[in-house]
């Protein structure tokens, strides 16, 4: 796990900007359409501080994620800082901490907040890939709403620059009611 920048907590708390329009990668991942995009604070970009978004190829109404992360040049490891899982198929289960959400299980949307997973005294994120989760403040109904919520939580002021990928739902993977 790479060492985080000394001002990482300030970066998280600051208003951020995408700067330009992220470009979706529709080829690399067989399950998701993805992009990673450098974030700027004011006019300054911290190398490796970026937003990753993954949306499902099959479903337009679930199974997407947004993650703030730090991926410094020259290092093989990126560090997840704050992740939002929108209507995933998996359940997230907390361990014994934080106390107010100990042993909670989230069957639907949930987040892995920076504040719960950052260890300021050690200047690193907790091991095991953001193990502490919490529910969303509200559960978005659409992918557009989810991106908007991500912009609000992550403080990305121009999140509206993200255009949705031009894909429809996979008719073979619709609910079998």
Partner 1 sequence: MIDFTEVNARESVDEAVRRLVTATHFASGSIVSMPVTYPSGSTVTLEVTLQQGRCFVSDRAGGFQEAEMCGATRYFNTEATRIADSLGIRFDGRDMFVAEVPAGNLRGAMVVVANASAEAASAATLRAADRSDKDASDQLYERLATIYKTKDVQKNVQMVGQSNHKWRISVLVMDKFQQWMFEPVTGNYISAVGTAAKFHDFAGVEHAPFRAAVIKSREDMKDFYGLVAGASTKVITINDPDETFHKLMAAA
- Residue 169 within binding range of partner 1, rule CB under 8 A: no
Is 17 or 35 the residue whose CB approaches partner 1 more closely?
35
Please select the residue that binds partner 1; options are 37, 57, 124, 155, rule is CB under 8 A: 124
Instruction: Report how far residue 177's alpha carbon sits from residue 171's, in angstroms, rounded to the nearest whole number.
Output: 14
Q: Which is nearer to partner 1, 163 or 174 (CB)?
A: 174
Q: How far is the CB of 47 from partner 1 (least distance, A)?
A: 15
**Rounded to an integer, what distance in angstroms lies between the CA atom of residue 44 and that of residue 27?**
31
User: In 3D, which of 78, 69, 12 has the Cα closest to residue 41?
Assistant: 12
* Calpha distance 65→154 (Å, rounded): 13
How many positions of this chain bind partner 1 (CB under 8 A)?
46
Can you give the length of the chain in residues?
177
Binding mask 75-94 for partner 1 (x = CB under 8 A): xxxxxx--x-x--xxxxxxx
Query: Is residue 113 part of the contact set for partner 1 (CB under 8 A)?
Result: no
Which of 151, 67, 160 lies closest to 114 in space, CA to CA? 67
15 CB-near residues (< 8 Å, 6+ apart): 41, 155, 157
The distance of closest approach from Cβ of residue 44 to partner 1 in the complex, given in angstroms and rounded to an integer, is 23
For residues 54 and 15, what is the distance between their CA atoms, to the nearest angstrom? 22
Q: Which of 29, 97, 144, 145 binds partner 1 (CB under 8 A)?
A: 29
Binding site for partner 1 (CB under 8 A): 1-3, 29-31, 54, 67, 69, 71, 75-80, 83, 85, 88-95, 105, 107, 112, 119, 121-124, 127-131, 133, 171-176
């Amino acid at each position: 796990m790479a060492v985080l920048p000394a001002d990482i907590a300030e970066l998280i708390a600051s208003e951020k900007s995408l700067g330009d329009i992220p470009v979706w990668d529709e080829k690399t991942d067989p399950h998701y359409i993805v992009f990673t995009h450098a974030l700027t604070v004011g006019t300054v970009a911290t190398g490796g501080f970026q937003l990753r978004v993954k949306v499902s190829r099959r479903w337009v109404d679930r199974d997407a994620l947004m993650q703030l992360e730090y991926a410094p040049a020259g290092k093989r490891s990126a560090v997840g800082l704050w992740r939002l899982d929108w209507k995933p198929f998996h359940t997230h289960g907390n361990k014994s901490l934080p106390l107010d959400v100990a042993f909670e299980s989230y069957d639907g949307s949930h987040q892995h907040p920076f504040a719960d997973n950052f260890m300021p005294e050690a200047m690193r994120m907790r091991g095991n890939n953001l193990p502490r989760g919490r529910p969303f403040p509200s559960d978005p109904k659409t992918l557009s709403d989810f991106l908007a919520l991500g912009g609000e939580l992550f403080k990305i002021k121009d999140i509206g620059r993200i255009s949705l990928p031009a894909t429809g739902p996979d008719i073979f993977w619709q609910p079998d009611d």
